[in-house]
Structure 1
Amino acid sequence: MQSDRLTSNNTRVIQEQLSNSSDFQTHDLTAGNRHFRLYYLNTMIEYAIVQEHIIRPLLVHTDVDIREAVSVLHASETELLTDAITAVIEGKTVVQIEGETTLYIYGTALNKERSINVPVNERVLRGSNEALIENLETNLNLMRKLIATPDLVVKYYHLGRRSNTKIAILYLNSIVNEQIVQELDRRMNSIDIDYVEAPGFIQELVEEKSFSLFPQMLVTERPDRVRSYLMDGKVAILTSGSPDSLILPVSFWAFFQSPDDYQINWLLGSTFRILRVFCFIIAISLPGAYVAMVTFDPRILPFEIALTLQSSMQFIAFPAVLEAISMLLILEILREATIRLPSPIGQTIGVVGGIVIGTVVVQSNLVSNTMVVVVAFTGLASFIIPSYEMSSAARLLPYPFIFMSAILGLIGLEFAYLFVLAHLSRLHMMGVPYFYSGLNAGSIRDTLFRAPLWRLKTRAKESLTRNKVRIRNPRGWEK
């Protein structure tokens, strides 16, 4: 009677902890002289596993210990109801034997996940066509296959009091800087939040400068890219429910690198990387430079160009600063519309809306032809940046440049550049400089441009790695 009361009390406690959920089920069975009760959520378990590997062995092997009878790979024991409740929520089946206080936990979770597909946000011409998915175990499987070494360390965290989100941190033990791992561990363990929506939540909760427009962690969905950064001594953060990985610490220049840079000739790779940096400068300052020259300093332009600008702005009622801000806002509205609408409609709205609005605003003398060209070029320059986070920063930075140029002309533009450079120079991530570390003699070979692979003998200094040598004898065939 006491054991029956214990089993009933356990059922009641688990039911109450699960807020009396209707999908919580118990199953009683008798095998020989033993009575079993199974606890599970019927929406989370694989019925075939429960039937074939738990119930059937218990009914057949009536005189065998449950540890020998049940053949489930993930099995554990506990005497705590809190552990049993957590296991039930995770899709496991808990078995209790009448007369015993030990609870047996078996992994029977139903796994429903999408197949590994091609990267959507980081398409490249050459390289792997596999992308991370929302299942953490599958992502770790991909990384283990790409980095087949016992040196790869995986550490688990559970964040969120209510969501209990599972997070994994990956690094190569013999390469990574121990202080960076310890500092990240301290920050992760200090997070106290109800639920975690990764990777955005983790990025904001871990980074040092929360009010900076510049991303301080690199987000990628490509396993091969995660592997390359791990090989450089960096740390990767993978989260259950997210197809993205966070990489840290990274420098400002990492956001202009693409996997394609290392799959083509180094001269072409360097050219494209310099082009991205140049386009970033164009994206943040071209509208401001236009406003400064038109409003304050038209005399620095060649005479023919000044006449062209004067003729295009002859009947424009709005000042140049309002032209620039309004056209940039229209560009952002069109971009958001193409993203939020379904794909076929979004592409149509983007093309037709851009043509119609551009034609109408010019013909109605609200905006000059030159301003339309400037804004269009600014938008294209921001889209060439490989990182979505850095591209978003490049779309917001033109506004302070425009305001400074409208107030002080080219001097204001120079002040805006100084403010941005000073801010970048002050940024750190895990004690690693964000900007100027990529401009020293040892790192510039793989930041501003891409040197030949046989010249990249050491890892980037920004990682502060213990093992700095990456290539020992790259062209040993040459005698």
Structure 2
Amino acid sequence: MIVLFAQCRGNLPVSYEERQSYLRDCFDRNADFVQRETIVYGLPVTFYFFNTLAAETQLEEQIFRLFQENESVHPSTLLHDYSRRQPQNQAQLKSMLVSGNIVATISGDENWYVLSLENTIARPISEPDSERIIRGAHDGFIEKLDTNIHLLRYRLKDPSLTVEFIELGSRTNTRVAIVYIQDLVNDTLLTEVKRRLAYIDTDMIISPGYIEEFIEDNTMSFFPQLLNTERPDRVEGNIMEGRIALLCEGTPTALIAPATFFSFYQSPDDYNSRWIPATFIRLLRLFSFLIAITLPAFYISVIGFHLEVIPNDLIWPVKYAVEGIPYPPLIEALIMEVTIELIREAGIRLPSPISQTIGIVGGLVIGDAVVQAGLISNLMIVVVAITAISSFIVPSNEMSTTVRLLRFPLMVLAATFGFVGIVFGLIFILINLCKLETLGVPYFAPFAPLRLTDWKDTFVRFPLWTMSRRPADAKPKLIVRLRDTRGWKQE
């Protein structure tokens, strides 16, 4: 229990009766606003709170019991012992009430007493469904900000771990935590993040998604520029490289800044397994990026323009498969891609047992029916299936969405110019990746600008003992993170 004491200042009402009238007028329409009055030391003491936010049972068990055990002591003396901070105006006092605190007033006493007895309701800590791993920790953030900070401090017992709180949203007053390592984070980066957050002037901040759109460099880009995660170990690994994490009250998602393209293809599993299988899986993920955005376009180009690239043994099977389809390849691909997206969205919105049924029905019944009806070719079904699987390999949901979107303009270019259109589309994507920046950090680092020393943890994952330097993209103060960890072999 923490009791906060505040003297009446500014435009706060002074007398006992004025305070009763003021608070009653402010919150009288709220059915959950409670006013409880008791007599202590012969003086009326009134408590004001929202019973849906404050812990009324703790009020009875702690505060009322304290009064009963000290009947000969003035109530102000008992509450003064727990004084902490002061509300400066009416807005701050209201904010304390709607935040779950209990406000107490004593007849004849001009002081305010604010008791922090919030009724905490939070779900159990569990592993995020969208970021499951095989080896390693299986816990994740929840909607309670203090619990999320605890998960980070429990893992990272470093005195330099710094947590700063700010409030965003003039009406929601959402508490946001800025988390970083003081002696690692670049001062210029930290100042820039705080500057962009200070410019947010809106009445509502509900989730990190709001913050992300306000502070990202290029909102018109397809690519996400801040990394979203619900895993404490992923946040820990990034802030240990000099990055900054933003956590928001009421949501289990953390934002990590700055982020690069390759950070979206890294997973905690990469560091929980040996480097050879980790490298293979990471290369598979990056290869899936090319498959997911180019395979439908490649199919359209081959069928529409470049049949000569098909081996001789496959010409007749391909011709037989596409013969009789009433639509051009582009329309055929669009129909199936949109159908897959509809099935995916339906599976997300429906309960788990029903969503599995929808997936089976969509994958088997609809797929077989459209082929039997002669609307879609067998080859198109195979292409769409491989493309969908490749887009789901990405560890980040935001990047997975980007991959699914990029395939559509490439399909249009392929239907218009064939292989030439695909090449121009890929060049445009590469130019955008090289040009994009996030908080002053090149998005495609360490590929552009080229920094070979940082390639140890991008396309491949070298053994941990070889990665003696932190990635330079976040410009950390301390670049060296380990020294001779294999010296035992020389003894």
Q: Report matched runs for 1:207-222 at 5 Å.
A: 207-222=216-231
Cα RMSD after superposing both structures:
1.8
1:457 is aligned, of 462, 468, 485, to: 468
Contact 1:75 1:107 in 2 (8 A): no
2:376 is aligned, of 363, 367, 380, to: 367
SS at match of 1:158: strand
> Which residue in 2 is equivalent to 1:277?
286
Contact 2:14 2:110 in 1 (8 A): no
> Which residue in 2 is equivalent to 1:159?
168
Distance 2:480 2:137 in 1: 26
Verify: 1:440 aligned to 2:451, yes or no.
yes
Verify: 1:168 aligned to 2:173, yes or no.
no
SS at match of 1:436: coil
Q: Which runs of 5+ in 1 are unaligned?
A: none
SS at match of 1:477: helix
Contact 2:160 2:182 in 1 (8 A): yes
Q: Could you tell me which amino acid in structure 1 is paired with residue 424 of structure 2?
A: F
Q: Report matched runs for 1:235-250 at 5 Å.
A: 235-250=244-259
Percentage of pairs with the same residue: 36
String of CA shifts for 1:386-434, please: whole Å, max 9, x gaps.
1111111111111100100111110000000011111111111110000
String of CA shifts for 1:39-63, please: whole Å, max 9, x gaps.
1112222123212322332344345
Q: Could you tell me which amino acid in structure 1 is paired with residue 249 of structure 2?
A: S
Contact 1:76 1:106 in 2 (8 A): no
Q: Could you tell me which amino acid in structure 2 is paired with residue 442 of structure 1?
A: T
Contact 1:74 1:106 in 2 (8 A): no
User: Residues 287 and 40 from structure 1, CA distance in 2 versus in 1: closer, same or farther, beyond 3 angstroms?
Assistant: same
Q: TM-score, normalised by structure 2?
A: 0.93
Superposition deviation, residue 167 in structure 1: 0.7
> Which residue in 1 is equivalent to 2:489?
478
SS at match of 1:168: strand
Superposition deviation, residue 228 in structure 1: 0.7
Contact 2:50 2:100 in 1 (8 A): yes
SS at match of 1:406: helix
> Which residue in 2 is equivalent to 1:297?
306
Q: Could you tell me which amino acid in structure 1 is paired with residue 265 of structure 2?
A: F
2:118 is aligned, of 97, 103, 109, to: 109
> Which residue in 1 is equivalent to 2:5?
none
Verify: 1:326 aligned to 2:335, yes or no.
yes
Superposition deviation, residue 76 in structure 1: 3.6
Superposition deviation, residue 74 in structure 1: 7.9
Distance 2:21 2:147 in 1: 35
Distance 1:295 1:65 in 2: 90
String of CA shifts for 1:295-337, please: whole Å, max 9, x gaps.
1111122222233221211111111111111110111111111
> Which residue in 2 is equivalent to 1:55?
64
Q: Could you tell me which amino acid in structure 2 is paired with residue 340 of structure 1?
A: R
> Which residue in 2 is equivalent to 1:190?
199
Q: Report matched runs for 1:370-449 at 5 Å.
A: 370-438=379-447, 440-449=451-460
SS at match of 2:238: helix
User: Residues 447 and 72 from structure 1, CA distance in 2 versus in 1: closer, same or farther, beyond 3 angstroms?
Assistant: farther
Superposition deviation, residue 145 in structure 1: 0.6
Superposition deviation, residue 103 in structure 1: 0.5
Once the two structures are overlaid, the 10-residue window that deviates more, 23-32 or 273-282, is: 23-32
Q: TM-score, normalised by structure 1?
A: 0.95
Superposition deviation, residue 21 in structure 1: 1.2
Superposition deviation, residue 467 in structure 1: 0.5
> Which residue in 2 is equivalent to 1:352?
361
Contact 2:228 2:253 in 1 (8 A): yes
Once the two structures are overlaid, the 10-residue window that deviates more, 97-106 or 363-372, is: 97-106
SS at match of 2:456: coil
Superposition deviation, residue 178 in structure 1: 0.9
Distance 2:215 2:51 in 1: 37
SS at match of 1:232: coil
Distance 2:317 2:248 in 1: 55
Superposition deviation, residue 202 in structure 1: 1.1
Q: Could you tell me which amino acid in structure 2 is paired with residue 469 of structure 1?
A: V
2:108 is aligned, of 91, 94, 99, to: 99
Contact 1:75 1:105 in 2 (8 A): no
